[in-house]
Amino acid sequence: MYLSFRLLSSKMDKHLLQGKFRGCLLGSLMGDCLGGPYEGETVSSGDKIIIQRYFDKMEKPDFASPFKKYTDDTAMMKSVAQFLTDKPDPDYNYLSKLFVDEFFKEPRRGYGQGIVTIFQKLRNSKYEDIFKPAKEQFNGSGSYGNGGAMRIAPVALYYHNDYNNMLNVARHVTKVTHNHPLGVNGALLQCIAVHQALLMDPKNSINPKEFCNELIKKIKIIEEESEEEDHHFITAYQEKLNRIPFLLNSKYDDELEDEILYSLGNGIEAYESVPTAIFCFLKAQGDIPRIETSNILRRTLQYAITLGGDTDTIACMAGAITGAFLGEDQINKQLLSHCEKADDIVVLADALYKKALKS
Ligand code: R7I
Ligand code: MG
Ligand code: MG
Q: pLDDT digits over 37-46, tens only?
A: 999 989 999 9
Please state the atom number of ligand 1 nearest to the C-alpha of residue 76: 3
Residues near 251 by Cβ (< 8 Å), separated by ≥ 6?
none
d(CA 4, CA 284): 19
- Cα of 312 to ligand 3 centre, how many Å? 5
Please report which ligand is nearest the Cα atom of 272.
Answer: 1
What local confidence, expressed as pLDDT, does residue 225 receive? 87
**Looking at the domain assignment, is residue 135 inside a domain?**
no
Q: pLDDT digits over 251-287, tens only?
A: 877 788 899 999 999 999 999 999 999 999 999 999 9
* CB of 73 sitting under 6 A from ligand 1: yes
- Is the predicted pLDDT of residue 6 greater than 60, yes or no? no
Q: pLDDT digits over 54-89, tens only?
A: 999 999 999 998 999 999 999 999 999 999 999 979
Mean per-residue pLDDT for 335-351?
98
Whether 191 and 168 have beta carbons less than 8 Å apart is answered as: no
d(CA 322, CA 319): 5
Mean per-residue pLDDT for 152-164?
97
CA distances from 263 to 80, 199, 287, 299 (A): 31, 28, 21, 21
What local confidence, expressed as pLDDT, does residue 116 receive? 97
Tally of structural domains, the chain: 1
Neighbour tally for 136: CB within 10 Å: 14
**Looking at the domain assignment, is residue 61 inside a domain?**
yes
Please state the atom number of ligand 1 nearest to the C-alpha of residue 316: 10
Q: pLDDT digits over 96-129, tens only?
A: 999 999 999 999 999 999 999 999 999 999 999 9
Mean per-residue pLDDT for 121-143?
97
**Looking at the domain assignment, is residue 324 inside a domain?**
yes
- Is the predicted pLDDT of residue 358 greater than 90, yes or no? no
46 three-state secondary structure: helix
- Of 218 and 4, more confident: 218
d(CA 53, CA 55): 5
- Cα of 14 to ligand 1 centre, how many Å? 38
Q: What is the mean pLDDT of the chain?
A: 94
**Looking at the domain assignment, is residue 128 inside a domain?**
no
What local confidence, expressed as pLDDT, does residue 272 receive? 98
What local confidence, expressed as pLDDT, does residue 359 receive? 74
Residue 79 belongs to domain spanning: 2-89+144-358
Q: pLDDT digits over 9-33, tens only?
A: 556 899 999 999 999 999 999 999 9
* CB of 174 sitting under 6 A from ligand 1: no
Residues near 85 by Cβ (< 8 Å), separated by ≥ 6?
348, 351, 352, 355
- Is the predicted pLDDT of residue 333 greater than 80, yes or no? yes
**Residue 2: band (very low, low, confident or very high) from pLDDT cuts 50, 70, 90:** very low
**Residue 1: band (very low, low, confident or very high) from pLDDT cuts 50, 70, 90:** very low
CA dihedral over 244, 40, 98, 185, signed as positive or negative: negative
**Looking at the domain assignment, is residue 337 inside a domain?**
yes
**Which of 74, 77, 99, 113 has most ligand 1 atoms within 8 Å of its beta carbon, as the pocket-test mutant?**
113
- Of 131 and 2, more confident: 131
The residues pairing with 339 across neighbouring beta strands, listed in sequence order, are 68
**Residue 316: band (very low, low, confident or very high) from pLDDT cuts 50, 70, 90:** very high
What local confidence, expressed as pLDDT, does residue 108 receive? 97
Q: pLDDT digits over 186-233, tens only?
A: 999 999 999 999 999 999 999 999 999 999 999 999 999 886 656 666
**Looking at the domain assignment, is residue 95 inside a domain?**
no
**Looking at the domain assignment, is residue 321 inside a domain?**
yes
* CB of 313 sitting under 6 A from ligand 1: yes
Q: Residue 231's domain is classified under what CATH number?
A: 1.10.4080.10
**Looking at the domain assignment, is residue 280 inside a domain?**
yes
What local confidence, expressed as pLDDT, does residue 10 receive? 57
Does this model's pTM top 0.95? My answer is yes
Mean per-residue pLDDT for 242-256?
90
